[in-house]
């Protein structure tokens, strides 16, 4: 199947899929970038980092010298012991600066539920994120990516998340650091639900980081790898709903066919949405597959992004 034609056909259906109001947020050809700005998400190297084959402190150097990528996105799990170490983060910024690499954001996991139904537990989760806001600021980054997890019935969860995310956005705003919600499974992959909460909070420092994968509604973390998920939110619809609030985009990749296209994710359709939006930020490579080595998966994803972006011009 001709993937570019598939994209064109799908683009023509977006108006009917999302309605006129949805399309108003995505007029054609608003993105002025002739070349995509590509960053590297640290999770792409998680196996090498967990085995210490690659040192987390060397991430900026690896991105620049091994892959020719000049912007990076960190993951807090590789720096648990250094969360509050200001000297460490200043040195990390110096390392990145010396390589000519921009540090964009820190992806934050396992710091408590920002939508916890218990007020005190929710407050503690909010405060647990403060150290990563400070670390990101020392790095010269613009955002932390959080998980909008919680529990309870839908109305209670909506209220709890609005409170927790509102508190964190208020704190982040004072420090000049954005709070970004990523689709990471369960209700966080219900983009319509999350957008309701963003609108309710109504804070300029609360936004999104749409991930091309992670749209599973009945599994935490939301992986749709191998198409085993039984309840999947439409990725095209979800990315379209998140893009007006996006300050980052995660180009998840799992597997590639013989033509070099991602075999599980509609890259032409999803990158087409990004290109036809007002989004001007970086597209972060996040290879999560097992069929290729991490190095090969990163390179294949980078090549695919550049190829599809170029094809969308024609």
Q: What percent of the chain has pLDDT over 90?
A: 84
Cβ-in-10-Å burial (0-12, 13-18, 19+) of 205 comes to: buried
**Beta carbons of 181 and 146 less than 8 angstroms apart:** yes
In this structure, what token pair is assigned to residue 113?
């539920």
**What percentage of the chain reaches a pLDDT higher than 70?**
90
> What was the pLDDT predicted at 30?
61
Greater model confidence, 30 or 296: 296
Lowest mean pLDDT among 25-29, 102-106, 235-239: 25-29
Mean pLDDT, range 74-93, rounded to an integer: 98
The pLDDT assigned to 8 comes to: 39
For the stretch 106-117, pLDDT in tens is 999 999 999 999
Confidence band of 224 (pLDDT split at 50, 70, 90): confident
Cβ(104)–Cβ(70) under 8 Å?
no
Q: What is the pLDDT of residue 233?
A: 97
262 and 255 Cβ atoms separated by less than 8 Å: yes
What average pLDDT score do residues 50-66 get? 97
Q: What is 33-311's CATH superfamily?
A: Divalent-metal-dependent TIM barrel enzymes (3.20.20.150)
3-state SS, one letter per residue, for 215-245: CECCCECCCCHHHCCCCECCHHHHHHHHHHH
- The model's pLDDT over 272-281, given as tens digits with 9 standing for 90+, comes to 999 999 999 9
**Tell me, what's the pLDDT at 23?**
33
Q: How many CA atoms lie within 13 A of 304 on its CB side?
A: 34
Q: Which residues of 208-241 are buried (b: 16+ CB within 10 A; e: fewer)?
A: bbbbbbbbbbebeebbbbeeebeebbebbbbbbb
pLDDT (0 to 100) of residue 234: 97
Cα angle 248, 221, 190; round to 5: 70
pLDDT at residue 192, as a whole number: 98
Question: Domain map of the chain by residue range?
Answer: 33-311
**Cα 49 → chain centroid:** 20
For the segment 178-194, what is each residue's pLDDT rounded down to a tens digit?
Answer: 999 999 999 999 999 99
Query: What's the CA gap between 74 and 160, in Å, rounded?
Result: 27
The rounded distance, in Å, linking the Cα atoms of 291 and 76 is 26
Determine the pLDDT at residue 18.
42
Q: Is the model's pLDDT at 25 over the cut of 90? A: no
Q: Evaluate if residue 123 carries a pLDDT over 60.
A: yes
Asked if the model's pLDDT at residue 5 lies above 60, the reply is no
What mean pLDDT value characterizes the chain? 91
The answer to whether 10 touches 269, Cβ cutoff 8 Å, is: yes
The reported pLDDT for the residue numbered 225 is 77
Query: pLDDT at residue 20 above 60?
Result: no
């Amino acid at each position: 199947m001709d993937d570019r034609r598939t994209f064109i056909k799908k683009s023509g259906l977006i108006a009917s899929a999302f309605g006129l109001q949805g399309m108003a947020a995505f007029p054609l050809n608003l993105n002025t970038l002739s070349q995509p700005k590509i960053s590297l998400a640290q999770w792409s190297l998680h196996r090498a980092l967990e085995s210490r084959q690659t040192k987390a402190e060397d991430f900026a150097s690896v991105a620049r010298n091994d892959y020719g990528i000049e912007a990076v996105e960190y993951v807090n799990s590789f720096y648990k012991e250094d969360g509050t170490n200001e000297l460490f983060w200043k040195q990390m910024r110096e390392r990145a600066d010396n390589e000519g690499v921009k540090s964009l954001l820190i992806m934050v996991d396992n710091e408590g539920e920002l939508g916890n139904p218990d007020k005190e537990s929710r407050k503690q989760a909010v405060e647990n994120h403060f150290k990563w806001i400070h670390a990101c600021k020392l790095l010269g980054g613009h955002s932390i990516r959080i998980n909008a997890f919680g529990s309870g019935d839908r109305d209670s969860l909506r209220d709890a998340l609005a409170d927790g995310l509102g508190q964190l956005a208020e704190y982040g705003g004072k420090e000049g650091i954005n709070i970004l919600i990523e689709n990471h499974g369960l209700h966080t992959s219900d983009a319509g639900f999350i957008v309701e909460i963003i609108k309710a909070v109504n804070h300029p420092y609360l936004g999104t980081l749409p991930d091309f994968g992670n749209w599973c509604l009945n599994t935490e973390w939301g992986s749709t790898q191998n198409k085993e998920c039984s309840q999947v939110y439409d990725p095209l619809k979800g990315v379209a709903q998140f893009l007006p609030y996006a300050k980052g985009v995660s180009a998840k990749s799992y597997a590639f066919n013989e033509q070099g296209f991602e075999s599980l994710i509609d890259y032409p359709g999803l990158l087409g949405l990004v290109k036809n939006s007002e989004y001007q930020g970086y597209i972060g490579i996040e290879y999560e597959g097992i069929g290729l080595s991490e190095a090969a998966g990163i390179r294949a994803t980078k090549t695919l992004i550049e190829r599809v972006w170029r094809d969308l011009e024609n």
